[in-house]
Structure 1
Amino acid sequence: MSEGDSHAPTDEGGFGKRIALGLILGTGITAANADEAPDSAEAVFSDFVDALNVSDATDAALNQKFDQLPAAEQERVADVIEEDPLSLMQFSTGAPTLTSGSETVAEPALARKVASSITTAAHHSVSTSRRALARSVASGLHIHTAVSSPRYTATYPVNASLFGITTGTFNMRYVFEATSTNVTRNLECSGWFTGAAGVWNISTSQSNYLSGGSGSCTVRYNMALAFKGSFFSTNKQQQLIYKGTRLTSASVKNV
């Protein structure tokens, strides 16, 4: 065997080792790429629903709705979740409801004192009380019980939903006093969220005013969501305006 032939097995063994090393390295690269591969649409949606902390029944209903979507739509939804998950939420409103009630404000202390004095004088002398009453009428003195305008409570729920399934509700309450034509006093303007907030962080601020017989209540919701290392935010505003007991505006909008 020639010298060249004697080296052939050694070269062939080295070549085989290089192939084996290449396969090992290749396997390592493939595993690394698999770790960095994007999640499937199903996994992205499932993570989002889990983050909302909805009930088991709602979780199952949402995933069933997602599974019924065409593959292309599932991919689109997954892309939206990763870009801005809050934009998937839908907000549906019903008609505000108005309930009535009234209260009587207690007589002012001065009016009670004057009325008591007149009553006491009547016990001492009928003629004296008659003269006192005549003088009171002549001087224009009148004693009235102070009565407020009727009280009304308006409620205005707005449902937050995904695929038509409610996950929470933004509640608004506006309490005011009014005649049939004018709001005379605002008593309460408030808003709060009920339901599954999950990773949402929701804060509220309220404002109200009276102008030209109209009363207004405005609630602003500042919503934030931390999801998979990213931070998203959006703001919603609810508003009710009444002219007396007549609803003139009910709105929900982005601000």
Structure 2
Amino acid sequence: MNRLTKVASASSIAVGLILGSGITAANAEEAPDSAEAVFTEFVDALKVDAKTDAALTEQFDDLPPAEQERVADAIEANPLSVMEFDAGAPTLTAGTGTTAQPALAHNVASSIKSAAHHNIATTKRASARNAASGLHIQTAAAAPRYTATYPVNASLFGITTGTFNMRYVFEATSTNVTRNLECTGWFTGVAGVWNISTSQSNYVSGGQGTCAVKYNMSLAFKGSFFSANKQQQLVYKGTKLTSASLKNI
């Protein structure tokens, strides 16, 4: 039953009681809150800043009355249902990998310096050994490091109220992810009635690296609790983005 039907039913009950039994209007069933009152209570619960509050209220006031009723009914049924999720484009930033065996490199340099005090034959042999060791160091060095970031805005009427953030750090060649270093997700923005917990998982398979963050969201509004679960995910094959998503789970 929508808001307009509720109002009509409440009015019918009130009239019937008044005419049939003499009960005063004060004892009749109370009409539900107006659409404007429901929306105002919802925005107050979000605890957004004054600028965002004013912008949201202005957008709601500009809606036709029938659309205001629809939004208010949706908020009362499940406040999470009126939120929109707008994904930005993931960005990938290159960094510098660390040398895997710095101690070995230092030992090779010391060996080269000591070899200079030996005869020519010994020096040639030491140089050959050091050259071989140097080649090994180059092979063992870590692949370049990359950091991928992926923001998804939670908004209402196109006005951002919070952001799901993801950071995925990994080592990779141009064609293969070789190691995951970090997979992190968090929500920033209004606190209000939101309660969000996160859990992360990541793996590398066949040169493809995956970072996934699950958000368990709950919301208290007008004495009721609502929940929704979402998963934000990034997948890279080397330095090439394979997929980026935020979906219900």
Assess same fold via TM > 0.5.
Answer: yes
Distance in 2 separating the partners of 1:192 and 1:38: 37
Distance in 2 separating the partners of 1:43 and 1:86: 18
Runs of 4+ in 1 over 6 A off after TM superposition: none
Residue 6 (structure 1) aligns with? none
Residue 214 (structure 2) aligns with? 220
Q: 5+ unaligned residues in a row in structure 1: which ranges?
A: 1-21
CA offsets, 1:190-213, max 9 Å, x none?
111111131100111111110111
Partner of 2:53: helix, strand, or coil? helix
CA offsets, 1:192-235, max 9 Å, x none?
11111311001111111101111011111111001111000001
Alignment partner of 1:30 out of 18, 25, 32: 25
Query: Which structure is larger by alpha-carbon Rg, 1 or 2?
Result: 1
Alignment partner of 1:148 out of 121, 142, 165: 142
Alignment partner of 2:43 out of 41, 49, 61: 49
Partner of 1:63: helix, strand, or coil? helix
Distance in 2 separating the partners of 1:84 and 1:32: 30
Deviates more, 1:62-71 or 1:231-240: 62-71
1:191 aligns with 2:185: yes
Alignment partner of 1:239 out of 219, 233, 246: 233
Distance in 2 separating the partners of 1:189 and 1:131: 47
Question: Aligned-pair distance for 1:74?
Answer: 1.3
| Pairing 1:83-162 to 2, within 5 Å after superposition | 83-105=77-99, 107-133=101-127, 136=129, 141-143=132-134, 144-145=137-138, 146-162=140-156
1:211 aligns with 2:205: yes
CA offsets, 1:121-173, max 9 Å, x none?
33243433234445x38xx9432244221111111110101111111111111
Deviates more, 1:196-205 or 1:119-128: 119-128
Alignment partner of 2:159 out of 157, 160, 165: 165
Residue type at the aligned position of 1:31: A
Partner of 2:98: helix, strand, or coil? coil
Residue 7 (structure 2) aligns with? none
**How high is the sequence identity, in percent, across the aligned residues?**
71
What is the root-mean-square deviation in Å for CA atoms of aligned residues?
2.3
C-alpha spacing 1:175/1:124, structure 2 compared with 1 (3 Å): same
Residue type at the aligned position of 1:224: S
Question: Aligned-pair distance for 1:30?
Answer: 2.7
Partner of 1:186: helix, strand, or coil? strand
Distance in 1 separating the partners of 2:247 and 2:171: 26
Distance in 2 separating the partners of 1:132 and 1:200: 66
Q: 5+ unaligned residues in a row in structure 2: which ranges?
A: 1-17
Question: Aligned-pair distance for 1:47?
Answer: 0.1
Aligned 8 A contact 2:154 2:160 in 1:
yes
Question: Aligned-pair distance for 1:72?
Answer: 1.6
Give the structure-2-normalised TM-score: 0.83
Distance in 1 separating the partners of 2:146 and 2:98: 14
C-alpha spacing 1:142/1:32, structure 2 compared with 1 (3 Å): same
Partner of 1:142: helix, strand, or coil? helix
Partner of 1:54: helix, strand, or coil? coil
C-alpha spacing 1:194/1:248, structure 2 compared with 1 (3 Å): same
Residue 9 (structure 1) aligns with? none
C-alpha spacing 1:241/1:131, structure 2 compared with 1 (3 Å): closer
Provide the aligned length of Structure 1 versus Structure 2: 227
Question: Aligned-pair distance for 1:67?
Answer: 1.2
Partner of 1:81: helix, strand, or coil? helix
Give the structure-1-normalised TM-score: 0.81
